Structure 1
Amino acid sequence: MKIEKPPYTITPEILFRIEEIGEAIGRATGISQDLRLRRINRILTIRGSLAIEGNILSEEQVSTILDGKPVIAPLRDIQEARNAIKAYDQYQQWNPASEADLLHAHEVLMIGLLDAPGQYRRKDIGVMGGGEVHHIGPPPGRVPQLMANLLAWLGSTDEHPLIASSVFHYEFEFIHPFEDGNGRMGRLWQTLILTRWKPLFAHIPVESLVHARQSDYYKAIRQSSSEGESTPFITFMLEIIPEAMKLATSIKRNFEELRHEQDI
C-alpha cells in the first residue's frame, strides 16, 4: 500500500515551539516521581478531556470515582469517567500505530456508552465542535482505508513526535472514524504518542489545557479544515503543551512548598 503523507507545513514558529518544549522538558524534573503529583495530573487530564465533551463531573468527583467510591451525578458522566480511568491506566501498553490497539482503546473508552464500541462508524456524521458543525466526515465506506493509511504513516514517519502526534490528532478528528468518542480518542492518542517519545508526558495534563482553551482548540481545527492542512492545529497544540508543562511544574512547586512548611 502506498502511504499518503497528510498535508502540513513546518513553519519557523513550529520549529521555535519544538525548541521551547525541548528546553521545558529539561527543566521538568521530578514531575513523574511523586505519586501524589501523578494522581493530581491524571485527574486533571481525565476531567479536562471529559469536560470538553460536556461531562459535568468536578475534579473532586473524578478523584472520588478514581478511589472506587460512589458519587451523585448523571450515570452517563460517571460511566465516561470510569471508562477514561481504565483507558488512561492501560494506554501505555498500546502501540500507537496499531489498528487493533486503537479499536480496543475505543472499546475501553466507550463501553456502556455505545451499542458497538471499538468499531468504525457505519453512517455519515457531522463533525461537531463548540456546538457547530465543522464539516461532514468522510463517507463510512472510506473510513477503514483512511485510518489504515493514517496509522501506516504514523508507524513509518521520521517526523518529530511533537509534529507527528499533532498531525495524527487533527487527521483523526477530520476522519472522525467512530460514531462517538472521537475527541477523547484523538487526545488520548496524542498523549500516547508523546509518552512513547518522552515518558514524562504521561504526567503532563495536556487535556486540561485543551479544555481551558477549548474555543481556540476548535478554532484551530476549523482553520486547518479550511486551509486543507493541519499546520494551524499543530501550531496550537505546540502552544498549549508548554502551558501544560508549566502547570505540572507549578503543582510540583506548590507541593514542595507545602512539604517544606510542614517540616518547619
Structure 2
Amino acid sequence: MTKKTPEPFLPNKLPLDDLNDFILKPDIIDKMIEASNAMGIYKGFLYNTPNPMLLISPLLIQESVLSSKLEGTHATLEDFLNFEAGNDTPIEKDEMTEIANYRTALYDALDTMGTINNDDPGKLPLSNRIIKNMHKILLNNVRGNTKNPGNFKRAQNYIGSSTEISYTPVPPSHTEEYMANLENYIHFDEKKILIQSAIIHAQFEMIHPFEDGNGRIGRLLIPLFLYYKEYLPYPTFYMSEYFEADRNRYIERLSDISSHNNWLDWIDYYLDGIIKQASRNTIKANRLLSLYDEMKVLCTSKVNSKHAINVLDFIFKHPVFKSGQLKDELNVGSLSTVYNLLDKFTELGILTKSDEKRNITYYSPQIILSTE
C-alpha cells in the first residue's frame, strides 16, 4: 500500500503568541545567558580586531563547504581550495561551483544590505528582495538552475526521499503571504535576538519558499540577520558545522515543530549550537589572528617589498593558489616580481609549494589547519 503524501503544512504566523511559554522556562533562560556570554566573547574579538573579515575568510570557505555538504555535495575543504587554484579534483565541477556560489551570495548580500539603523539610501534592509537575489546567485550555472532561480516556487515542493515524502511545505499559493510575514518578523522588535534568529531559520525551512536551495539560503539568513540587527558587527557567525555534525537531530528538531508544535526543543537545540559555535569560532578566530600576526612580523622584517602585506592578505583569502592568480591580485606587470615574493614566503615557511616543474601550486598548511 502506497503511503499517503502529507498535506501541505501551514505553520503559525509570526510573531509566536506563546513565545514566552518557551523562553521563560528556567532551562532556556540559563541557556540564553550562556549563549549570550559565548557570543559576547566572540563579538569582542570582532570589535577589537582590525579587518576581521580577512581573518574570518578561511572560516567562510569552510562554512560554504559544510553548508553545501548538508545538501549532498562531497567536497572537502582541501578539494575546494584546490579547485579554486585550478587543480583537478575528484569532485564534479558543478558541486564546486555550488560552494563558490554560496560564498558569493553572502558577499553580494553584504554589499547590498545595510543594517537596521543604517541611513544610507543606497543600502537595502534584509528583505525578500535580498533573499531572492541570494537564491539567484546560489543556483547560477549549477544543478537546479532550471528551478526558477531568484523567484519563489511555482510548483509544490516536498521533503523526503524518492520513495517516501516526510513533509510537504507551504503550497505556492500561500508562499508570498508567508514570506511577507517572515519579512515583517525580521523587522519585528523581538527582545531576544538569538531566539528570533532560531525562529526565523526554522520558519524559513518550514515555508521552503524555493524549488531548490532552501537549506543553504536558510543557513545564510542566520549570520545576515544577526548582522542586520547589529547584534554582530560582521556577518561572520556560521552554524552549518553544528547542523552537519548530527544532521538527523537537526531534521528531527525541525520536524517536531510541524508535527507537534514543539518550538521548545528546537530553541533548546539551537541555543546549544550558538554556545558551541561561538566558542569554536572564537578559538579558531584567535588562532588565525595569532597566525596572521606572526606571519606579518616575518613579512615586514624579512621581505623587502611594498607588496609583502598584500601577499599575506591574499594568502589568507586563498590558502591554495597559483602564481598567476597572485599576479592578477597584485596587478604587477612581471611574473618575476611574483616569483621573487613567492620564493621569499616559501623560505620563511609561510608557504609550501607542490613538486611540479610548471604550474606550481602554492599553499599555506598552517591556515588550512587553523580552520579545523
What TM-score bracket applies, with the shorter chain setting the length?
0.7 to 0.9
Shift, 1:62, TM fit: 2.7
1:1-40 to structure 2, matched below 5 A, reads 4-6=14-16, 8=19, 9-10=22-23, 11-28=25-42, 29-30=44-45, 33=50, 34=52, 37-40=55-58
1:1-264 to structure 2, matched below 5 A, reads 4-6=14-16, 8=19, 9-10=22-23, 11-28=25-42, 29-30=44-45, 33=50, 34=52, 37-65=55-83, 67=84, 69-72=86-89, 73-92=91-110, 93-94=112-113, 97-112=126-141, 113-115=144-146, 116-128=148-160, 133-196=165-228, 197-199=230-232, 202-255=235-288
Is this contact kept in 2: 1:109–1:181, CA < 8 A? Answer: yes
Shift, 1:96, TM fit: 6.1
Is this contact kept in 2: 1:96–1:193, CA < 8 A? Answer: no
Check 1:52–1:104 CA distance in 2 against 1; reply closer, same or farther (3 A cut). Answer: same
2:88 and 2:125 mapped to 1: Cα distance?
33
**TM-score, structure 1 normalization:** 0.85
Larger mean CA deviation between 152-161 and 103-112 belongs to: 152-161
**TM-score, structure 2 normalization:** 0.62
Larger mean CA deviation between 167-176 and 95-104 belongs to: 95-104
User: Please, which runs of 5 or more residues in structure 1 have no aligned partner?
Assistant: none
Check 1:37–1:139 CA distance in 2 against 1; reply closer, same or farther (3 A cut). Answer: same
**Percent identity of paired positions between Structure 1 and Structure 2:** 23
Check 1:156–1:204 CA distance in 2 against 1; reply closer, same or farther (3 A cut). Answer: closer
Aligned-partner residue type, residue 273 of structure 2: I
Check 1:165–1:135 CA distance in 2 against 1; reply closer, same or farther (3 A cut). Answer: same
Shift, 1:207, TM fit: 1.6
Partner-residue secondary structure (3-state), 1:203: coil
1:84 and 1:207 mapped to 2: Cα distance?
12
Is this contact kept in 2: 1:127–1:176, CA < 8 A? Answer: no
1:108 and 1:149 mapped to 2: Cα distance?
24
Shift, 1:114, TM fit: 2.1
Shift, 1:169, TM fit: 0.7
Aligned-partner residue type, residue 17 of structure 1: K
Is this contact kept in 2: 1:127–1:174, CA < 8 A? Answer: no
1:122 and 1:228 mapped to 2: Cα distance?
27
Shift, 1:40, TM fit: 2.1
1:132 and 1:214 mapped to 2: Cα distance?
18
Shift, 1:76, TM fit: 1.9
Aligned-partner residue type, residue 12 of structure 1: P
Shift, 1:185, TM fit: 0.8
Q: CA RMSD in A?
A: 2.8
Larger mean CA deviation between 30-39 and 144-153 belongs to: 30-39
User: Please, which runs of 5 or more residues in structure 2 have no aligned partner?
Assistant: 1-12, 114-123, 298-372
Shift, 1:250, TM fit: 2.3
Shift, 1:132, TM fit: 6.8
Is this contact kept in 1: 2:201–2:222, CA < 8 A? Answer: yes
Shift, 1:41, TM fit: 1.3
Shift, 1:86, TM fit: 0.5
Shift, 1:174, TM fit: 0.6
Larger mean CA deviation between 23-32 and 251-260 belongs to: 251-260
For each residue in 1:200-257, what CA deviation from the matched residue of structure 2 results, as whole angstroms up to 9, or x when unmatched?
Answer: 5633332222211222211111122222253322221111111111212222454467
Partner-residue secondary structure (3-state), 2:235: helix
Is this contact kept in 2: 1:96–1:192, CA < 8 A? Answer: no
